Each structure stands twice: as C-alpha cells, then as structure tokens.
Amino acid sequence: MALRSTALCSTTSLPFRRSRAVVLSVAALGTVGLAACAPPGQVTSTEKGTVPPVFTSSPPPAGYAPEGEHEAEAPVQEGAKLTADIKGNDGKTIGTVTFTDVDDAIKVTIEAKGLTPGNHGWHVHEKSVCDGDFTSAGPHLMKDNVDVGGQFPTLFIQKDGSGTLTTTTDLFTWDDLTNDGNGRAVVIHDVTDTNKRVACGVVKE
C-alpha cells in the first residue's frame, strides 16, 4: 500500500476525474502537471475507485456507462431473477417468492396471503418438489455441512393473513440455488407446529 505524496496529487487530478474523455486527454499530455505524482499516462487518486477506467477496446465493454451518460441511478447491470408460485396444502397459490442475483449475495422477497397470522419459519429446501404435505422438498439446503437454507428471518403474517418480507443472504450462491437447472423449493412452516409445512414453491428456471 503506497501512500506517496497522494495529497498533492489529488489536488492536481481532482478536476479531471469526471470524464473519461478528459482523462484520456490528460494521458495524452503525458507528464504535464502529473510528473511528481505518477508515471506518464497514469492518474493517481487518494480515493479508492474514483479514477474512471480507461478502455483500450472500442466500444467500451457492455454495461459500462460513463458518468453523466446515464439518466437514472439504477444499477448498470440487472441481476438474474427467479420467481416462483407458493402454493398451500390445497394446491392454490398463496404467494410468490422472488430471488434476485445481486452483488455477491441473493436478495429474496416473499409476498403471501391467506396464511395463519403470526411468525412463520421459512427456508430454502433441497429438492424442487412440492407434492402432498411438502415433505417431498426434502431437508434444508446444506452446504459444507452447514444449514444455509434455513437461516432467514421469520415471515410475519398480519391479522388479515398477508405478509411480506425482503431479506438478503450470502450463505449460498446463485449456482447453489439454480442447482444445475434442477432448482430448489421454498417451504413455509406452520406458526405453532414448525415441523408442519403449510406452503411450498418450486424455484426453478
């Protein structure tokens, strides 16, 4: 970690941080104004990640949007998404579960209605099969002998039988979830009898 005279350098490079085009022109000027701070063609900064990337290929890689050229604050690349119906013991849909692949984690959103009020445990179970009493979904998703599918906050169902929850986990990966196309299941358990499985949804592409 080199901490060489960066304070001086940042003053010099500050006005040039915003635009890729300007940075390129600074690089073309070579050592002018930057000789004391960096080798020719390089721009230093005291702040991590503030130097715009300079691409040698043309056009820039897909997904790259220079500052000022995109309108919204939305992420440049949207993650993959999986949505599944959650069905009750009678086979009727009572909600949906959505998994989104975000940076180094998986965002999970559950929306449900028609469930018993209270706190329901819910988990990602191993098999993408929701038959009968839903024991078909098998045990929790395990990874290296760790119960990674069972570690979520409970789904609170209000008096009207509805509830929503959004949470994020990095205990398992997107590949663990898609399971080579075989998928997994989300199982919601009963409020009082936690062994009882009251709803199940197949998570599959």
Q: Which residues bind Cu ion (CB under 5 A)?
A: 123, 187
CB of 186 to Cu ion, least distance (A): 9
Three-class DSSP labels, the chain: CCCCCHHHHHHHHHHHCCCHHHHHHHHHHCCCCCCCCCCCCCCCCCCCCCCCCCCCCCCCCCCCCCCCCCCCCCCCCCCCEEEEEEEECCCCEEEEEEEEEECCEEEEEEEECCCCCEEECEEEECCCCCCCCCHHHCCECEECCEECCCCCCCEEECCCCCEEEEEEECCCCHHHHHHHHCCEEEEEECCCCCCCEEEEEEECC
Q: How far is the CB of 86 from Cu ion (least distance, A)?
A: 13
Q: Which residue lies nearer to Cu ion by CB, 135 or 162?
A: 135
Please identify the residue of the shown chain whose CB is closest to the bound Cu ion. Answer: 123
Name which of 9 and 165 has its Cβ closer to Cu ion: 165
Min CB(122)–Cu ion separation in Å: 7
Which residue's CB is nearer to Cu ion, number 86 or number 187? 187
Beta carbon of residue 172, minimum distance to Cu ion (angstroms, whole number): 14
Which residue's CB is nearer to Cu ion, number 114 or number 138? 138
